Structure 1
């Protein structure tokens, strides 16, 4: 695992640890996130300050480390 993917995994893990509820949706190499439930303010703040501010490619790496909503 590269340093970048390790950093992305760590950010995703911390977000989830804080109670983050976003889930990754992966379709044909397109990555998006879904948030259906309210999440703790601490998790929302972490997402805004630590993940939303990343470049699109780095943010996508973090998103692929979130729990996945796809079956299987």
Structure 2
């Protein structure tokens, strides 16, 4: 299991609700619903600070729109 996948799975396990949108190899995330504070904190501390390429690798493992 890659580090990116481990981070994505932990975020989802905490109740994270962000979804990925992949279009023409451009990856974005969307958040339409509030998420548990634990998931938000995990995203802010462990995923958001990653460089663009590493964060993209994590986002690919999120559920897609």
Normalization by structure 1: what TM-score? 0.88
**The residue matched to 1:20 in structure 2 has which SS?**
coil
Tell me the number of residue pairs that the alignment of Structure 1 and Structure 2 aligns: 65
Stretches of structure 2 that go unaligned for 5 or more consecutive residues are none
The alignment's C-alpha RMSD in Å is 0.9
1:29 CA displacement: 0.4
Are residues 1:66 and 2:62 paired? yes
Based on CA coordinates, which of the two structures has the bigger radius of gyration?
A: 1
Q: Does 1:37 align with 2:33?
A: yes
- TM-score normalised by the chain length of structure 2: 0.97
Unaligned runs of 5+ in 1: none
Moved over 6 A (4+): none
Shift of 1:26: 0.3
